[in-house]
Amino acid sequence: MPGPAPAQLPELLDQYDGVLVDAYGVLCDSQGALPGAAALIEALQLRGRPWAVVTNDASRLADTVAARLERFGVAVPADHVITSGSLLPAHFAAHGLVGRRCAVLGPADSVRYVEAAGGVVVHPADRGAPLEAIVVCDDAIDPFLPTIEATLGAAVAALDAGVELALVLPNPDLVYPRGAGEWGLTAGTIAAMIETALHRLRPGAPCFVALGKPHAPMYAEARRRVGPGRVLAIGDQLDTDIAGALAAGMDAALVASGVSRWRPGLTPEPTWLLDALTPARP
């Protein structure tokens, strides 16, 4: 088998009608912009074809993501950012969750995402009326263990009251690189913890429904934004960026600046390999 082909930016872009770019591990890390990120965005803007930054982040509104990238010197307009949090309104509307009592795990912008979707945000320790949904957006949970345990208790109480409890996970990422060989836990790991405990206490309890990469809701929204035609997705994680794009019928380029490193035999197999976002020329 030939395996994925090495490729170079910006030449690769010429083969595609639309381009999706992951944020963390491709355009930036926690320290700032990665080499070539600003030039890639400039090249995408100059092409005049559709493109979007696609991120599983549900802890920052699109404006906040764009402002953060701007501070790093990467000029991404907010209307070119698709976050997993922005998938919540469509999910809430499609699943009858508008007006439902929701516990939200994550910072202030996560709460704003759920409110924008029509959820009624309540504290998990508030037992005034049964909880109807739990939305795990982010690992920024303070105080961590008491909030998780209150959420678990509220979930058990809701199920015992006969509520059809919805568990929603915009960002299914499990880990993220903190730099210098250190790793952080992401919302997907928090949801797995709650789900494991909940199923131990109430077998048959629902499972979390994930919206972000590699799951279909994110790619449906991305396709809506970039339109028909050939789409290239550039990402750093095989199990999210690459797997999701391929499943959605898009080509996928793995860039070796973040989580995953390619070696033969791994799956899924990206279409292209990029050593880095080499400086793009207009």
Segment interacting with Mg ion (CB under 5 A) among 29-37, 113-121, 141-149, 257-265: 257-265
- Closest CB to Mg ion among 25 and 50? 25
Report residue 35 as tokens: 């080499």
- Select the residue whose beta carbon is closest to Mg ion and give its number: 25
Altogether, the residues listed in the chain come to a count of 282
- Closest CB to Mg ion among 36 and 119? 36
Find tokens 């950012």 and name the residue. 81
Segment interacting with Mg ion (CB under 5 A) among 28-36, 146-154, 225-233, 235-243: 235-243
Q: Quick check: 236 binds Mg ion (CB under 5 A)?
A: yes
- Closest CB to Mg ion among 60 and 101? 60
User: Contacts with Mg ion: how many residues (CB under 5 A)?
Assistant: 5
Q: Quick check: 22 binds Mg ion (CB under 5 A)?
A: yes
Minimum Å gap between C-beta 155 and Mg ion is 30
Q: Quick check: 195 binds Mg ion (CB under 5 A)?
A: no
Minimum Å gap between C-beta 204 and Mg ion is 34
Q: Quick check: 270 binds Mg ion (CB under 5 A)?
A: no
Q: Quick check: 29 binds Mg ion (CB under 5 A)?
A: no
- Closest CB to Mg ion among 61 and 234? 234
Q: Quick check: 244 binds Mg ion (CB under 5 A)?
A: no
Q: Quick check: 251 binds Mg ion (CB under 5 A)?
A: no
Q: Which of 25, 188, 212, 244 binds Mg ion (CB under 5 A)?
A: 25
Residues of the shown chain interacting with Mg ion in the complex, contacts defined by CB under 5 A? 22, 24-25, 236, 258
